[in-house]
A and B are shown apart, each in its own frame.
Chain A
Amino acid sequence: MATLAAVLLVTSAARADRDPAAAEGHARAARTELDMQFCRAPKLPLGPEALELCSVAAEIPDCAALVAACDAALKKPEHDEPSDFMKSLMAALGLVAHGLVYLLVGGAVIALLVPIVNAIRKRRRDASIAEKVDVTATNTATTEAPKEIERVDDAEEALRRADDLARRGDLSRATTLYLAASLSALDRRGAIRITKSRTNGEYVRACSEADSRPKLRGIANEVDRVHFGGEPPTEERVGKVASLAKALVRALPLAMLLLGLVGCGNPGKPKMNDPAGTELFVETMKRQGMPVTPLGASLASLRPLDDGEPAPILVIDLERTHLEPDAEDKIVAWVASGGVLVLMGDGSHKLSKTFGYSSHSVNVKEVDARLTPLAIDTSDDDDDDESETLFRARLQKSRDAATKHFRGMVPFPGVVEVAGGLTLVSAGDGAYAIEKRHEKGVVVVVHDSTLLRNAVVARPGNAAVITALFTELSANPAYTGGPEEHRTAEVRAIKLARREDGISPPDNPFSALAQAGLERGMWHALAASLVLFLAYGVRHARPKPEPAPSRRAFAEHVLATGAFYARSPHPTRALASFARFAEDRVRQALPRGTHDVPAFLAQRTGRSVDDCRTLWERVTATTPEDTPKGDELRVLADLRGVLITALRRDTGERRLPEAKRPPT
């Protein structure tokens, strides 16, 4: 019993901020300080929700403009039917808009495919480079390739890793990662191309972004200093590298953000001129020490609370937030695990019914929010022999005596009913807002959501009502047991679901487009993109001719001869071709004034002059039109051997290809 009393005794300081009596002043101050214009210059034309609030407009002080707007709107005749011309114009504009949406979707898909194509091309290019390496480097112990630079794909992730390493004191690896992140970002933007054989200096010189070059140079110099200069990295220097790397990596996103801001224009100060808005409610609650924040996620992604996890107050405006079945299921599970759910408006909603609520309208517009005090004076309760029943009766009496009432007016009176519920706000003899436990959690259903609207909160008395309601909820924890046993002074977070939060998040971009009603357009754009992709891919996949070697005719000649050598059906042509090439090469190597090729070959190869002469005469006499004798391939092989031997010994000739004759 003493424990019970102790639980009930909570310091009044803890609730100092939550004082419904001060809510009126807070609301008035918020309107003035934030220059809320829903009364002085309401957003015109008034929307359907705003029009519904016109019944309270006259009761709001300094709200003549809203009253006038309401009068004008309610008196305004229905719009005339648009003319046929306007109808056809609208239809045409609709078609244009439809086409633009197709273009937009197509553009988005292409934008998605371009990086994929680039990645495929990069992979192929890298593979071809790797093949070249394999061909040229045989039997070589490969140097340990630097892993960090080439493997970094996500510059932001690399920055995070680098920051983490820097925090842990691994400054050396952190500098490398900062460089890697910078190079990766530049590579992605096309400013450089990362290859294993490029030095840091080459990256700097090759960087096509002039603004990024000094930053990259700064980073590269520091990395070189650490890794090759043997200088231990200091936190100051690593910090400098980090700032340079971050500036490099985030240069484009920042620029895009700025561009976006400039492109969107200066949004300016919000006017808060919608009478049906919720700004005044949010601001009043904030000044009451109970900040209201947007949920920020889909209700379909709510997960059940863990044991002991603080349960926020989740407010759903059923008139604005359309709930999908998946979201409803998640909400029910969340409440069951200990959440505090406030459903405002549409008491006949399926979700309200799930929790056993029903509602109907009444004529009483006055509502009365009651606030049970957390602290009840039980100081005279020193009789330990008092029975439980007597104590509870005395406690209830004290509570009834101390409970405060806050009265207001709502535009749409109605009552909510549920078995075993506790009335929080009453309307006449019924309950305007009623609370009921659902497993570990609490569900509160409010007959309508007008208490959230600017115009209603601004009405004298209503700010206190809504504040009292949430103060009561905040003090009433969501777990089993008698409500008086666990009341708390903790401030709960209040989350307000937005219009779009009732929709399940799309699984992928395509389902998002489908949800947006662009399914057909998406398929059309996808088909068009596929055609473009295939056209692009086929064009690039087509084998390209090898780049011309420096001595094209010569190399082609040798290649052609080699092909004939292998399996030519015209061996005389092969032999004649190779003979012409051999003669050309040998004559280049002949000493000046010498013309006897067989003697030269004999001297160079060590074979007899007669052998060489026979061979030489045989090959030089061959013409492509000759009838094959059957020995052509053998003669060709013989000639090739003689040629290689003769030219190998001619060391001066060996170096000739390196030199370039000056132009004449």
Chain B
Amino acid sequence: MTEDLQESSLRPFIDTFERMRARIAEVVVGQEELVLGLLVALFAGGHVLVEGVPGLGKTLVARSLSQVSGALFKRIQFTPDLMPSDVTGSSIYARETGSFTFMPGPIFTNMLLADEVNRAPAKTQSALLEAMQEQQVTVDGNSRPLAAPFMVIATQNPVESQGTYPLPEAQLDRFLLKLTVENPPKDIEERIVKQHARGFDPKDISNLAPATTPEEIVAMQRLCEGVRVDDAIVTYMVELVRRTRDDRAIELGASPRASIAMLKAARVVAASEGRAFVTPDDVKPMVKPILRHRVMLHPDAELQGLSADDRIDEIVRAVPVPRGT
């Protein structure tokens, strides 16, 4: 498939990609990077952890994405008393039939918004592990496949530590991207307020027309897998990830899953540019979203005020970009 993919066959993908982006922009002002990251993750078959303070439109973006993708959307507000079965579903005894009937949880959807995911205890968070990795849920010994496409969009608030349960490393590693949402600049914020002044209701986006279908998204995902990745690009990606393991300021570096995530994301970026091959330009923008939640800084580095993004920037600057022979 890799050899056969022609750039002309990417035309429908670009059209769909741009159409979705344009539709989302009808209701979401600004946040282009967040939207791009979500679209990349969607077509790469990954999940996204969105970190930002409340009120920046994270939920609106997620809902808009599900609306334009024509996919089923469900939302779980994670709370400290949320149980795994509240996520996955459970078997309930039916008195009439005398047997247990499985009641699917909200995870049986195409897009799941796990709002404030770090407010639930690790036990509940772990309920997502199998779903995110295997795209199936095992309850009472029975594995039930999830719908395709399946995407988890988890949000968390970075400033509150009271009553929160930081996500374990294993859970973090399953997110393809971690996107950080910043406060919008002044002009964008003014546009947001004006949009609301004109009567925009973020709770009602039902008039947002779907730009594609779940089936088409799955087909597009397969199409992206055909994007060519040169060996030099693979070496570049592996080198970027390996350097996180050797950096003195990083206590725990990224796993090979990060390299694979980079590969998937870069393919989608390349396809969205209409190219049937990946270039270093497709890799670089994805490095920070892919690595920032996969590295654990050394305490001394934290004491010096360093952040994961700072170290990743340094690593990107240190690794030579491949340019061919």
Report the stretch among B74-82, B215-223, B301-309 that lies at the interface.
B301-309
- Decide: B305 and A555 in contact? CB cutoff 8 A: yes
A439 CB to nearest B CB, Å: 56
Cβ < 8 Å to A, chain B residues 210-238? 228, 230, 232-233, 235-236
Assess whether A228 is in contact with B233, with CB atoms less than 8 Å apart: yes
Docked complex Cα distance between A357 and B309 (Å):
87
- CB of A227 within 8 A of CB of B321, answer no
Residues of chain B within 8 A of A200, CB atoms compared? 279-281, 323
A662: chain B residues within 8 A (beta carbon): 53, 55, 183
**Bound complex: CA A650 to CA B235 (Å):** 35
Write the B267-296 contact mask toward A (1 if CB under 8 angstroms, else 0).
000000001111111001000000010001
Q: Does residue B162 face the partner (Cβ distance < 8 Å to A)?
A: yes
B155 smallest CB distance to A (angstroms): 13
CB neighbours (8 Å) of B303 from chain A are: 558, 644, 647
Cα-based distance from A662 to B182 in the complex (angstroms): 8
Complex: A555 Cα to B51 Cα, angstroms: 26
CA distance A138 to B245 in the complex (A): 10
The residue among A142, A144, A657, A661 with the most chain B CB atoms within 10 A of its own CB is A657
Residues of A within 8 A of B247 (CB): 136-137
Is A137's CB under 8 angstroms from B318's CB? yes
Q: Is the beta-carbon distance between A229 and B277 smaller than 8 angstroms?
A: yes
Q: Is residue B242 within 8 Å, beta carbon to beta carbon, of the partner chain?
A: yes
Is B130 in contact with chain A by the CB < 8 A criterion? no
| A223-B243 in contact given A654-B297, A656-B161, A658-B308 (Cβ < 8 Å) | no
A4 interface residue (CB < 8 Å to B): no
Inter-chain contact A647/B281, CB cutoff 8 Å: no
A132/B314 in contact, CB under 8 A: yes
User: Could you tell me if A230 and B228 are in contact, using CB atoms closer than 8 angstroms?
Assistant: yes
CB contacts under 8 Å to B, within A183-233, are: 195-202, 223-230
Does A146 contact B304, Cβ atoms closer than 8 Å?
no
Instruction: Flag A5-38 by CB within 8 Å of B: 1 or 0 each.
Output: 0000000000000000000000000000000000
Contact of B279 among A145, A173, A201 (CB under 8 A): A201
Closest to A173 in B: B325
- Choose among A138, A143, A201 the residue that contacts B281 (Cβ–Cβ < 8 A): A201
* Residues 210-265 of A contacting B (Cβ, < 8 Å): 223-230
Total A-B pairs, Cβ < 8 A: 166
In the complex the two chains form, is A145's CB within 8 Å of B320's CB? yes
- Report if B32 contacts A (CB, 8 A): no
Pick from A140, A195, A198, A663 the residue with the most CB of B within 10 Å: A140
| B148 interface contact, C-beta 8 A | no
Contact A228:B277 (CB < 8 A) given known A143-B235, A199-B284, A656-B158: yes
A176 within 8 A of B: yes
Contact of B230 among A230, A658, A661 (CB under 8 A): A230
Report chain B residues within 8 Å CB of A140. Answer: 239, 242-243, 246
Determine if B317 is an interface residue (Cβ-Cβ < 8 Å).
Answer: yes
With a cutoff of 8 Å between Cβ atoms, the chain B residues found around residue A551 in the complex are: 305
Residues of chain A within 8 A (CB-CB) of B51 are: 658-659
Give B254 Cβ to nearest chain A Cβ, in Å. Answer: 14
- With the chains together, A172 CA to B183 CA distance in Å? 46
Size category of the A interface is 35 or more
A229-B276 CB under 8 A given contacts A136-B315, A657-B302: yes
Which chain B positions have C-beta within 8 A of A554?
305
CB distance from B312 to the nearest CB of A (A): 11
The CA-CA distance from A228 to B300 in the complex, in Å, is 40
- Distance in Å from the Cβ of A513 to the closest Cβ of chain B? 43
Nearest Cβ in chain A — how far from B145, in angstroms?
A: 33
| Cβ contact within 8 Å between B319 and A659 | no
> Which B residue's beta carbon lies closest to that of A195?
B317
Across the interface, name the chain A residue whose C-beta is closest to B292: A658
Task: Report Cα–Cα, A650/B296, bound state, in Å.
Answer: 12
**A143-B319, A230-B230 as given contacts; A654 in contact with B296, CB under 8 Å:** yes
- A522-562: which residues lie under 8 A (CB-CB) from chain B? 549-551, 554-555, 558
How many residues on B have C-beta within 8 angstroms of the other chain's C-beta atoms? Answer: 62
- B325: A residues at CB distance < 8 A: 172-173, 176, 227
Q: With A and B bound together, what is the CA distance between A575 and B90 in angstroms?
A: 57
Answer whether residue B84 sits at the interface, using C-beta atoms and an 8 A cutoff. no
B304–A549 touching, CB < 8 Å: yes
Question: Any chain A CB within 8 A of the CB of B12?
Answer: no
Q: How far is the CA of A129 from the CA of B309 in the complex (A)?
A: 19
> Is B256 part of the binding interface, using a Cβ–Cβ cutoff of 8 Å?
no
A651 at interface by CB-CB < 8 Å = yes
Within the assembled complex, what's the spacing in Å between the Cα atoms of A125 and B295? Answer: 29
A136 and B236 alpha carbons, distance in the complex (Å): 17
Check A197/B318 contact, CB under 8 A, given A658-B308, A660-B182.
Answer: yes
Whether the Cβ atoms of B324 and A172 lie closer than 8 Å is: yes
Asked if A148 is at the interface of the complex by the 8 Å CB criterion, the answer is: yes
Residues of B near A76 (CB, < 8 A) are none
Knowing A228-B230, A230-B230, the reply to whether A146 touches B323 (Cβ < 8 A) is: yes
Q: Identify which of B53, B55, B180, B323 contacts A658 (C-beta below 8 A).
A: B180
Query: Could you tell me the distance between the alpha carbons of A374 and B323 in the complex, rounded to whole angstroms?
Result: 66
The answer to whether the Cβ of A652 comes within 8 Å of any Cβ in the partner chain is yes
Q: Which residues of A contact B307 (CB under 8 A)?
A: 550, 657-658
A387 on interface, CB distance cutoff 8 Å: no
Cβ contact within 8 Å between A658 and B162: no
Is B324 in contact with A227, judged by CB distance below 8 angstroms?
A: yes
The CA of A172 and the CA of B232, in the complex, are separated in Å by: 15
Q: Determine the distance from Cα of A200 to Cα of B308 in the docked complex, in whole angstroms.
A: 26
| B248 interface contact, C-beta 8 A | yes
Q: Tell me whether A137 and B246 are in contact in the complex, defined as CB-CB below 8 angstroms, given that A146-B320, A555-B304 are known contacts.
A: yes
- Judge whether B320 and A661 touch: CB under 8 Å: no
Is B92 part of the contact surface with A, judged by Cβ < 8 Å?
Answer: no
Is the CB of A181 closer than 8 A to any CB of chain B?
Answer: no
- In the complex, what residues of B have CB within 8 A of residue A592's CB? 162-163
A379 within 8 A of B: no
Separation of A173 and B228 alpha carbons in the complex (Å):
21
In addition to A199-B284, A549-B304, A659-B159, 12 A-B residue pairs with Cβ atoms within 8 Å of each other are A136-B318, A137-B246, A140-B243, A143-B235, A199-B280, A202-B284, A644-B303, A648-B299, A652-B118, A652-B164, A655-B166, A662-B183
Q: Which residues of A contact B (CB under 8 A)?
A: 129, 132-133, 136-140, 142-146, 148-149, 172-173, 176, 179, 195-202, 223-230, 549-551, 554-555, 558, 589, 591-592, 644, 647-648, 650-663
- 6 A-B pairs within 8 Å (CB atoms) are namely A133-B317, A137-B315, A138-B248, A143-B322, A199-B279, A230-B230
9 smallest CB-CB distances across A and B, nearest first, come from A227-B324, A659-B158, A201-B281, A551-B305, A229-B277, A146-B323, A196-B320, A592-B162, A199-B280
